[in-house]
C-alpha cells in the first residue's frame, strides 16, 4: 500500500463492499488510474472493528479505492465493481456467506450516488435481473489489520487457491460472460 496516496486528502475515493476484501483489492489495484486500495471495514455502528468483531458491529468487508479523477471516473469504477461481484446474491459472495460479505456501494456525495445508481441500473438491464446491492451513505472507514493489506501479493499462492476454490471467477464468468472483469 502506498501510504502517501492513502493519506492525501485531495485524493478521490470510492468505497465498495464486494465480499472478501482481498479480492476487491486485487481487482481494483490493477486498474489504470487507481492509486491505492486499502482493505477495511465500514457500514456498521461499532468503533474500531477488527477481523474478529466487524460483523458483530454491523460492518462489511470493504475496499477504499483511491483514484485519480483525471485518469478514471467514479462511474467507471462503479461499472467495473458490478462486473467483479454477483450483485444478485443477498447472502454474501461466492463461498463467503453472511452479512459481512454482502455487496454495497458507500457514497460520499450526490455525484457519487447518481453515478452508482446509473451503474446499478445498467447492470440490472445487462443481467435482466434484480440487483440487490444497496447504495448507502458512507460511514466511518476502519483500516483492516496489516496482514490483510495486499494479501494477494504477500501470499499469492494462498490467495489464488482461495479465489479459485471459492469459485469467484467461475461464477463471474457464468453471470457476466464476456463482461466479467477478472484480472
CA pair distance 87, 158, nearest whole angstrom: 25
Cite the beta strand spans of 20-145 per DSSP E.
Answer: 34-42, 60-67, 92-93, 96-97, 103-107, 135-137, 141-143
Please give the span between the terminal C-alpha atoms of the chain, in angstroms, as a whole number.
Answer: 19
CA pair distance 117, 31, nearest whole angstrom: 22
* Active-site annotation, residues: 20
Dihedral pair phi/psi, residue 57, rounded to 5°: -90, 5
Amino acid at each position: 500500500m502506498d501510504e502517501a496516496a492513502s493519506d492525501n486528502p485531495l485524493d478521490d475515493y470510492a468505497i465498495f463492499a464486494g465480499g472478501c476484501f482481498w479480492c476487491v483489492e486485487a481487482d481494483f489495484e490493477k486498474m489504470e488510474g487507481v492509486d491505492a486500495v486499502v482493505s477495511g471495514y465500514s457500514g456498521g455502528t461499532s468503533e474500531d472493528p477488527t477481523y474478529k468483531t466487524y460483523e458483530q458491529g454491523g460492518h462489511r468487508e470493504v475496499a477504499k479505492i483511491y483514484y485519480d479523477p483525471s485518469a478514471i471516473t467514479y462511474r467507471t469504477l462503479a461499472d467495473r465493481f458490478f462486473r467483479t461481484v454477483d450483485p444478485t446474491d443477498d447472502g454474501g459472495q461466492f463461498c463467503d456467506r453472511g452479512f459481512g460479505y454482502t455487496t454495497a456501494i458507500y457514497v460520499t456525495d450526490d455525484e457519487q450516488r447518481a453515478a452508482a445508481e446509473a451503474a446499478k441500473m445498467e447492470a440490472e438491464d445487462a443481467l435482466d435481473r434484480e440487483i440487490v446491492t444497496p447504495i448507502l451513505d458512507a460511514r466511518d472507514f476502519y483500516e483492516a489489520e496489516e496482514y490483510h493489506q495486499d494479501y494477494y501479493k504477500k501470499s499469492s499462492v494462498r490467495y489464488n487457491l482461495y479465489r479459485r476454490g471459492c469459485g469467484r471467477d467461475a461464477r463471474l464468468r457464468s453471470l457476466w460472460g464476456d463482461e466479467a472483469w477478472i484480472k
